[in-house]
Amino acid sequence: MNPESTEGWRHLGMVQAENDNDRAAIASLLRAVEADSSNLEALLELGVSCTNELDQNQALLFMHTWLEAHPVYRELVEGMDLPDYGDYRMLEHVTSQFKRAAAMNPDDGDVSSALGVLCNLSREYDEVISFPAMKPLKHLTNMPYIVRPHRGSSNPSVSTRRITLSGTN
């Protein structure tokens, strides 16, 4: 593999994440972001993998960076001060910005997935089903996890990975 290939590193990271090897996924996804700091899929997956590794601060930073890099949503965070790394207000700040993104584009599966992860971090599990892109999953409210939409699919019931709501996979 070309060591400068952002897509190669991203794909490797995604495969590692799919196999619940989040530490290896994080290492590969970081290489993808080093090669291309605007690799949106790698940034969002870094947020998920860091959440799975119980690194909330790093997860929030990657999710915020995803908003900064996104061509549609970057305006939501331009000129805003991010709370200091580790500040308890960071979760509230990042969640607020993703809710604004969801209001702009209610059918964006990536935004809904990120909000699901943020609800996991804040332990507001019931709120996940309220997001428009998650409506088809409402019948799964008794399940201990949310189903993450497959990238490129408008159908959120097509699962590639599950994110547990109890904080463990």
Is residue 99 included in any domain, yes or no?
A: yes
* Residues 112-138 pLDDT 10s: 888 888 888 878 766 666 655 554 444
Is residue 73 included in any domain, yes or no?
A: yes
Is residue 154 included in any domain, yes or no?
A: yes
Is residue 94 included in any domain, yes or no?
A: yes
Is residue 57 included in any domain, yes or no?
A: yes
* Residues 86-106 pLDDT 10s: 778 888 888 889 999 998 888
Is residue 75 included in any domain, yes or no?
A: yes
Is residue 169 included in any domain, yes or no?
A: no
Low-confidence ranges of the chain (pLDDT < 50): 135-169
The closest alpha carbon to 55, from 93, 28, 23, belongs to 23
Residue 66: per-residue pLDDT: 93
How many domains does the chain fold into?
A: 1
Residue 125: per-residue pLDDT: 63
> The CATH number of the domain where 100 resides is what?
1.25.40.10
What is the domain extent for residue 87?
A: 6-164
pTM: 0.71
Cβ pair 18, 160 in contact under 8 A: yes
Is residue 1 included in any domain, yes or no?
A: no
